[in-house]
Amino acid sequence: MPRIKRGVTTRQKHKRLLDQAKGYRGRRKNTIRVARQAVEKAGQYAYRDRKVKKRTFRALWIQRINAAVRAEGLTYSQFMHGVKLAGIELDRKVMADLAMNEAGAFSSIIKQAKDALPA
């Protein structure tokens, strides 16, 4: 049984790693050991920030809804409570888009939510 030399697979591995580190500065782009650390850390940041992106967009949608609702004399929490009571099943992303681009439609949603609130 002949012995197996691993130079080819190692070179492929290193090439793939350096391709992932393309655009990095200093030794992070061309030294295997440093590039491996940089790519691994970049992956950790990417994983974390995919979660953070969802949070920041939700916060943006809430701010937009709140701004539109306060112009009609309600707070965000009162509005959301009224929406739940009225049985309106629109998510925050859609409501924020309506508040920004379709003011008339959103004001009718606000009216429905106001009517559903207990006096």
pLDDT tens digits for range 12-38: 999 999 999 999 999 999 999 999 999
% of the chain beyond a pLDDT of 90: 95
Predicted TM-score (pTM) of the model is 0.83
Nearest of 89, 90, 78 to residue 116 by alpha carbon: 78
As given in the structure block, the two tokens for residue 75 are: 């707070």
Q: Which residue has the tokens 């888009």?
A: 97
d(CA 114, CA 78): 8
d(CA 42, CA 34): 12
d(CA 4, CA 49): 42
Check residue 52 and give its pLDDT. 98
Helix (H, G, I), strand (E, B) or coil at 43: helix
Task: Give the dihedral of Cα atoms 79, 80, 86, 91; nearest 10 deg.
Answer: 130
d(CA 102, CA 65): 12
d(CA 50, CA 10): 31
Q: Identify the structural domains of the chain with CATH numbers, from first to last.
A: 6-116 (1.10.1900.20)
